[in-house]
A and B are shown apart, each in its own frame.
Chain A
């Protein structure tokens, strides 16, 4: 044991985002001694994003103040084999978090449950349409956990966070005004939906007239004050319009800070160490047991934290990279499809439609990260997408998250980018435009994976993670179909002009799309096609659990965090009720 080793902990958690914080809460409530190591700084509402300076678009949204600096950690990227992957030097397509609260600080708060069929995607498609509808290079698979098993944990997360929404399916009974296509839920949302501005209202009217079933986006921006089961009070959202990419100055966006930290702070058996970047998971000589982690602390000193249980909750990229750097699990080899670590990376396939009106003021500066109306019909099980030439689906929405003018001031087609004509156009169009979005699923496939880069290293001389990814042709067909439907709704809203922004390949890391990077350490019932079992326990190292969207075998159209949270709470429950009474593999290999 190195001289600078610290007192052993029951549990060490790597990363303090939603995943790490939820597990820390559950395990510390049961009396375990928990140490959390977080690479970024400590952050809280009053000190880091109070209303006085929270609404600074340049600092947070443009200069990415809450995002991990690429100088500290980045990935390399290429579209396909044969290209040389190059480092992402400036974040674009996605914004990985750093610091206490992780992405939970600066997310939008669009909070979804996945549908029951999403968890059995491959068998569902095969049963409904036959194996032939699944592209031959698609590596989509079942999750090994069912919606029914996760439902209590979705419910627990929604009631911790106070999510604002309206049920569409209460214990099998359809509810007016909610999502008619959702899986059955045991009770309604803890708080009512957000109040709607004009754009989502008009979108819903137009969609309804076309036969769709619009409903309010379930939101972690709270419609009214709420006290959760830990006794923590979350405030009402002020629709401030500085939400995604920003911390909330009003304590109204559910985050580890607003939902969990006030309770955790009072527990003597939880320690959060910030500025602590984990380098490796250390194991016993036979490799079957994790002994703890090596990390660099805020002073640059290397430390060793021993623990009985290691929870890896460092977001998709670092989850996969730390497994690879620690030599845990067989790395995926795309040539023959063998191995598992890095396999099944997937993303989100998005597109948009921009509407311009002559007179109507939409006041885009009013907004919240999850304020909007959504249509989920295109995902619905009844629809035979296979007949249309693709599998998967999308949801369509009018989200009004705030018209912050450095980044959001669209002008009509043909407008120059500068000069007097631009000035007149932006003055006319700013208040009178509406953006509609389509968010689509992403297949996992043979051409998309994560491994270690052969060339580029981080500042500690450790290899960067390499992403090889492009959109599958299936997904481009899917999103084109969805965008066409979105444009029909847009046209029905009666704009003077409309621009349809279809998604085309190749995938680029430059324009922002979503921070919904999934897979690479996927879950499943079969150790030859998964890294972790259905309780997120490593198949190779029984006292290691890998938590986060890295466990998704493929990505449905919905934002991931509701499911990330449910899986984290499901894993924590398994640790307490199954693992601790009899430490060892929960599923025999």
Chain B
């Protein structure tokens, strides 16, 4: 759904939210941006199941989300606003072209509300990106992210094994079987 330029910005963001390091792949390699793209193109991105009848009023935090804008619209507007900000503030450079420390600083400022972006609720947009990046890192790989089960391997989650009867009373034991997803394991397909 996203354009190549939007995808490039998003790839850069997810790789700062989950950076590659000695523990394993980052958000880019794990496919978080592809995951987000697919989600935005589907029922979630279109708010298909949500009540979207007016009037839309600003409520209290306790009353929850009241925006008529779908996640797809909010994502795109935020990415565009971020790029516009970068090009103005960093002599025409795109977010993806900033050094990692600069990217982190900008994202932190948006997260804590000290940096606004023209025309969008920057903080709410950041929360959407962060939420979807984590979904992409930890959801079953059939949804396009969590490639090679990078998210699950990082923390030791065995995935969709669905049967731990033999492990219930092995208190404190290290679980030794590799993670498996709904679509199987990487090894199965490579071998096949």
CA of A326 to CA of B77, assembled, Å: 45
CA of A459 to CA of B162, assembled, Å: 39
What is the distance, in angstroms, from A522's C-beta to the closest C-beta of chain B?
25
Cβ–Cβ < 8 Å partners of B17 in chain A: 418-419
**Which chain A residues (336-385) contact chain B, with CB distance < 8 Å?**
360-363, 365-366
Cβ–Cβ < 8 Å partners of B171 in chain A: 197-198, 201
Q: Does A406 contact B (CB under 8 A)?
A: yes
**A456 lies within 8 A of B53 (CB):** yes
Residue of A whose beta carbon sits closest to that of B158? A365
Residue of A whose beta carbon sits closest to that of B140? A56
What is the distance, in angstroms, from A45's C-beta to the closest C-beta of chain B?
13
Q: Does A526 contact B (CB under 8 A)?
A: no
**A196 lies within 8 A of B168 (CB):** yes
Q: A238-B165, A417-B111, A423-B23 are in contact. Are A509 and B151 (CB under 8 A)?
A: no
CA of A83 to CA of B51, assembled, Å: 20
Contact with B along A52-64 (1 / 0, CB 8 A): 1111111000111
Q: Does A8 contact B (CB under 8 A)?
A: no
**A427 lies within 8 A of B55 (CB):** no
Number of A-B contacts (CB under 8 A): 168
CA of A236 to CA of B173, assembled, Å: 23
Q: A198-B172, A510-B62 are in contact. Are A457 and B135 (CB under 8 A)?
A: no
Among B55, B64, B111, B134, the one with the most A-chain Cβ atoms within 10 Å of its Cβ is: B64
Among A87, A197, A236, A506, the one with the most B-chain Cβ atoms within 10 Å of its Cβ is: A87
Q: A363-B175, A417-B111 are in contact. Are A53 and B182 (CB under 8 A)?
A: yes
**Which chain A residues (218-253) contact chain B, with CB distance < 8 Å?**
236, 238-242, 249-250
Cβ–Cβ < 8 Å partners of B107 in chain A: 418
Q: Does A294 contact B (CB under 8 A)?
A: no
Interface 9-residue window, one of B3-11, B42-50, B89-97, B117-125: B42-50
Q: A366-B164, A431-B155 are in contact. Are A409 and B182 (CB under 8 A)?
A: no
**A365 lies within 8 A of B164 (CB):** yes
Cβ–Cβ < 8 Å partners of B190 in chain A: none
Residue of A whose beta carbon sits closest to that of B133? A418
Q: Does B1 contact A (CB under 8 A)?
A: no
The one of B151, B162, B175 in contact with A242, judged by C-beta atoms closer than 8 angstroms, is B162
Cβ–Cβ < 8 Å partners of B79 in chain A: none
CA of A70 to CA of B104, assembled, Å: 36
What is the distance, in angstroms, from B149's C-beta to the closest C-beta of chain A?
11
Q: Does B61 contact A (CB under 8 A)?
A: yes
Residue of B whose beta carbon sits closest to that of A87? B51
Cβ–Cβ < 8 Å partners of A366 in chain B: 164, 167-168
The one of B23, B165, B173 in contact with A424, judged by C-beta atoms closer than 8 angstroms, is B23
Q: Does B81 contact A (CB under 8 A)?
A: no
Interface 9-residue window, one of A28-36, A72-80, A144-152, A160-168: A72-80
CA of A578 to CA of B59, assembled, Å: 50
Q: A86-B59, A363-B167, A430-B156 are in contact. Are A63 and B44 (CB under 8 A)?
A: yes
What is the distance, in angstroms, from A325's C-beta to the closest C-beta of chain B?
17
Cβ–Cβ < 8 Å partners of B140 in chain A: 55-58
**Which chain B residues (46-74) contact chain A, with CB distance < 8 Å?**
48-53, 55, 57, 59-66
16 additional A-B residue pairs with CB within 8 Å, beyond A198-B171, A509-B62: A69-B50, A70-B51, A77-B63, A88-B64, A89-B52, A196-B169, A236-B165, A240-B161, A360-B172, A365-B158, A366-B164, A406-B134, A423-B18, A430-B156, A431-B155, A508-B61
Q: List 19 A-B contacts (CB under 8 A).
A: A56-B140, A71-B49, A71-B51, A77-B63, A79-B60, A86-B57, A86-B64, A86-B66, A88-B64, A89-B50, A238-B164, A240-B162, A361-B172, A365-B158, A365-B164, A405-B155, A423-B23, A427-B23, A509-B64
Using a CB–CB cutoff of 8 Å, the interface residues on chain B facing chain A are 16-19, 21, 23, 44, 48-53, 55, 57, 59-66, 104, 107, 111, 130, 133-135, 138-140, 142-143, 151-152, 154-165, 167-169, 171-175, 182
